[in-house]
Structure 1
Amino acid sequence: MLKEYLKIDRIEGPLIFLKGIKEAKYGEMIEIRLENEDRLGKVIKIEENYVVAQVFEGTSGLSTVNASVHFTGEPLSLNFSKDILGRMFNGVGNPIDGGGPIYANKKYNVNSRPINPVARRYPRNYIETGISTIDVLCTLIRGQKLPIFSGNGLPHKELAAQIVSQARISSETDEKFAICFVAIGITRDDGAYFIERFEESGTINNVVMFMNYADDPVTERLSIPKCALTAAEYLAFEEEMHILVVMTDMTNYCEALREIATAKEEVPSRKGYPGYLYSDLAFIYERAGMLKDRNGSITFLPILTMPNDDITHPIPDLTGYITEGQIVLSRDLSNKDVRPPVNIMPSLSRLMKDGIGEGHTRADHPDLANQLFSSFSKVLDIRSLAQIIGESDLSEMDKHYIEYGRQFEAQFVNQGFSERRTMEESLDLGWKILSILPPEALDRLDEETIRKYYGR
């Protein structure tokens, strides 16, 4: 609908309301023309008597009489080519690194659909992050959706930078691997930190970055995941690359969704979030995966901060329903200066059983991971007992477990944000820590495996 309207009915926050609009389309892009500048917007609601559009650059300086609205008849679409690697874009896909525009023969609609379950290929093989707790105990499988649950003040920023700097695919073939890094609502200082870390590690030329800062318009936070995932889909399914999408912080996205829903006068649901929060998150998460007729893959690692460390909050709660596991960061471990502070007990990867073991990592990996989990679970019970009777009155076996727990946290979990361990090194370290326990305590391992690896 290529028409231009000369009057805005009303303005509320980042939204404009227009009356008397005919044939408007949901998701259609609009151009708002002021005397000295043009702004972009998108139709987000259509009622019988009016149309609601969100303005990406904000409504500051905009009034009901000083602007005209031009309907383009097209959704938000972006140019993509392999030249996007090493580039940085804003929340609506415009380059912000001074490198000029991206030229391509084809534009891609950012409102892509989630992958049809019938077209999906089951995820196999793994992505090595270089972090022992993730690689051994919560293995990240290609095509998986594995969120990281953090809290305010916990070092998820450093963990995100470490994963982007260290991640690689475990393959001896010539398969191509790249990373799509997405920052939502971060500070300028955090943005500079990420760029500096990627430059120091030498990975920046293999990363496509989408950055939305805290002082950018809130409406851009709703479009940046779609723009980034569209870029990931292009690289994965057009260029047949394996793409790891690291997105932080999904809580800022959900807060923006709540703010826009309130401005649209929608009926709120749990904690003020819109009732469609679940389907909106699923629309984003389910764009990750593998296709039967393509060689590429999209692996999704969203990071979210749990308000008040509440894992039952709607954001982590709904995320857990959609994704295939979670990695949970611990405030107690962070206070002990354990880096990264991964709490292994509530952490899990539901797909790791099909992407590890012989032919993928190492034959002993599944049993070793089970034994590490089982032994540390007993450590927690014995620590509770020691608080009552004192550590000196524990049995000899219990004292072995206490020492195992100390060394597990000090050596296996704690590795800093700059150390990279290969899968082989992490597995060997796991056996080294397990050797603190006597062989009879290793009840999840068979005798042949114990003879081969025990004492390494």
Structure 2
Amino acid sequence: MAIEYLGLDSINGPLVVLEGIQDAAYDDIVEFVVEREEHKLGRIIEMYENKAVIQVFESTANMSLDNTHTKLTGHAMELPLAPEILGRTFDGIGRPIDGLGEINYVVKRDVNGLPMNPVSREYPRNFIQTGVSAIDALTTLIRGQKLPIFSGDGLPHDQLAAQIVRQASLKTEEEEEFGIVFAAMGVKHDVADYFKRTFEESGVLDHVTMFLNLADDPVVERLITPKVALTAAEYLAFDLGMHILVVMTDMTSYCEALREVSASKQEIPSRKGYPGYLYSDLASLYERAGILADKPGSVTQIPILTMPNDDITHPIPDLTGYITEGQIVLDRSLEGKSIYPPINVLPSLSRLMKDGIGKGFTREDHQDVANQLFASYSRVTDARSLASVIGEDELSDIDKKYIEFGNKFEREFIGQEKDESRSIEETLEKAWELLRILPRHELDRIDTELLNQYYKVGR
């Protein structure tokens, strides 16, 4: 039964305190009525005996201690869900903002979700094709995986995210439904408009569900947005049997919102002012990716974060790297060469890649080609370092070949157009074109049978 209270005991930024409450629990949703007309939402984030600390999702500027009615709903935040959420756009807490009306929901789900039983998880194995060569060949995205993109301020992670949403598809002969859940946190209005316009113009909006938390939206709402998006993804995957790719940008905005609210609660800070529970909080989001053995569908995650000062040891990328299964790293020096997407393949990796590529998944030569590209590009770095000391003209013939390979690898393999989608076959053929620049005896990471089949000059 919902209980109403008149007045508040204190207000501190986005937090309000209410005393004398009964039958309330942590994470319960609270409804406020200000001046008998304006409605706001909040949630209980701390409980002390009969006192509750409530996080208000909107501004508390017009709230005072005696003009506010508080109603305890007795349940956590729930998201109304139905198959029609595909193709729709919502705000950060799941309210429709596309002018198409409310959702005629089939079910409501707690946005906090339920933890996946590790015993019931299936090992991720199938390949998701993004159409981006540097990802598909070298840091392959596997269905059910969580593979973050580490970026920096000013790098084109928004364009890459939009391209992945436009181009992502299942690489399978079976007819399986595929969908995208896109969550944006703390983005500017022009960035939100860019995503909406891009999806509409490319015709993919009908299988994309968008959740947009804008930069001028309440910071507390930002903490709910990824939970709402993942709840929608779990419904589409495990109730409707779809394979869902969740793209979340920018996780740094989420973590900064967490730090701001933690400071308002006067909690003891940890590294760089972030709360000590940042790791477990991020894990509660990232671990909602996966495949369940007894249910159809899957949830795959690509969280995108901007590294403050391009520092990969910063707490946000550092902790994210511990939880997730690899990372894709964007590089400022490649961006300076006008290479898009500026993916630095050497620090990038996909820990589940080996189990979702090769014969029966992509192509039998995929793993060997990837290993050779990594090894050869590493040699390019050594050759460039030597050339910076003695000059390129003084390099040996083989080092000059590696310099040529490196330049073409960056321009033609890593680099591609923002609307260019390459199949895995096209990506691997392009890799072989580049590997033929090098003498055959340098390709020591590829099986002899595969070399005999694919290493033919002028093939």
TM-score range, shorter chain: over 0.9
Separation (CA, whole Å) in 2 of partners of 1:328 and 1:130? 17
Q: Which amino acid aligns with 2:402?
A: Y
Secondary structure in structure 2 of the residue aligned to 1:410: helix
1:52-451 alignment, distance < 5 Å: 52-451=53-452
Separation (CA, whole Å) in 1 of partners of 2:447 and 2:283? 41
1:353-382 Cα deviation digits (max 9, x unpaired) = 000000000000000000000000000011
CA contact (8 A) 2:147 2:328 kept: yes
**Corresponding residue number in structure 2 for 1:15:** 15
**Corresponding residue number in structure 2 for 1:6:** 6
1:90-130 Cα deviation digits (max 9, x unpaired) = 11111111111111232111111232211100001110000
Q: Which amino acid aligns with 2:64?
A: S
1:318-354 Cα deviation digits (max 9, x unpaired) = 0000000000000000011000000000000000000
Tell me the matched-pair count. Answer: 456
| TM-score, with length taken from structure 1 | 0.99
CA contact (8 A) 1:133 1:413 kept: yes
Separation (CA, whole Å) in 1 of partners of 2:345 and 2:443? 19
Q: Which amino acid aligns with 2:447?
A: D
Separation (CA, whole Å) in 1 of partners of 2:371 and 2:70? 61
Secondary structure in structure 2 of the residue aligned to 1:318: helix
Separation (CA, whole Å) in 2 of partners of 1:81 and 1:333? 43
CA contact (8 A) 1:115 1:288 kept: no
Secondary structure in structure 1 of the residue aligned to 2:200: helix
Separation (CA, whole Å) in 2 of partners of 1:106 and 1:82? 10
Q: Give 1:211 shift.
A: 0.4
Separation (CA, whole Å) in 2 of partners of 1:92 and 1:318? 25
CA contact (8 A) 1:31 1:39 kept: yes
Separation (CA, whole Å) in 2 of partners of 1:320 and 1:114? 20
Q: Give 1:189 shift.
A: 0.3
Q: Give 1:48 shift.
A: 3.0
Q: Which amino acid aligns with 1:206?
A: H
Q: Which amino acid aligns with 1:345?
A: L
Q: Which amino acid aligns with 2:422?
A: R
Separation (CA, whole Å) in 2 of partners of 1:76 and 1:366? 45
1:229-257 Cα deviation digits (max 9, x unpaired) = 00000000000000000000000000000
Separation (CA, whole Å) in 1 of partners of 2:146 and 2:184? 17
CA contact (8 A) 1:145 1:323 kept: yes
Q: Give 1:204 shift.
A: 0.6
1:24 counterpart = 2:24: yes
Separation (CA, whole Å) in 2 of partners of 1:452 and 1:295? 38
Separation (CA, whole Å) in 1 of partners of 2:66 and 2:435? 73
Secondary structure in structure 1 of the residue aligned to 2:122: coil
Separation (CA, whole Å) in 1 of partners of 2:400 and 2:340? 25
CA contact (8 A) 1:114 1:284 kept: no
Separation (CA, whole Å) in 1 of partners of 2:116 and 2:149? 22
CA contact (8 A) 2:82 2:107 kept: no
Separation (CA, whole Å) in 2 of partners of 1:299 and 1:114? 16
CA contact (8 A) 1:10 1:64 kept: yes
Separation (CA, whole Å) in 1 of partners of 2:187 and 2:160? 15
1:288-336 Cα deviation digits (max 9, x unpaired) = 0000111200000000000000000000000000000000000000011
Q: Give 1:21 shift.
A: 2.0
Q: Which amino acid aligns with 2:65?
A: T
Q: Which amino acid aligns with 2:53?
A: V
Q: Give 1:49 shift.
A: 5.3
1:47-103 Cα deviation digits (max 9, x unpaired) = 235211111122121111111111010111121111000001111111111111111
CA contact (8 A) 1:182 1:225 kept: yes
CA contact (8 A) 1:113 1:283 kept: no
Moved more, 45-54 or 426-435: 45-54
Q: Which amino acid aligns with 2:15?
A: L
Identity of aligned residues (%): 59
Q: Which amino acid aligns with 1:431?
A: W
Secondary structure in structure 2 of the residue aligned to 1:219: helix
Q: Which amino acid aligns with 1:139?
A: T
Separation (CA, whole Å) in 2 of partners of 1:262 and 1:116? 33
Secondary structure in structure 1 of the residue aligned to 2:97: coil
Secondary structure in structure 1 of the residue aligned to 2:285: helix
CA contact (8 A) 1:184 1:224 kept: yes
Separation (CA, whole Å) in 2 of partners of 1:123 and 1:18? 46
Ranges of 4+ aligned residues in structure 1 off by more than 3 Å: none
Separation (CA, whole Å) in 2 of partners of 1:105 and 1:235? 12
Q: Which amino acid aligns with 1:238?
A: D
Q: Give 1:266 shift.
A: 0.7
Secondary structure in structure 1 of the residue aligned to 2:288: coil
Separation (CA, whole Å) in 2 of partners of 1:353 and 1:212? 36
Separation (CA, whole Å) in 1 of partners of 2:315 and 2:68? 39
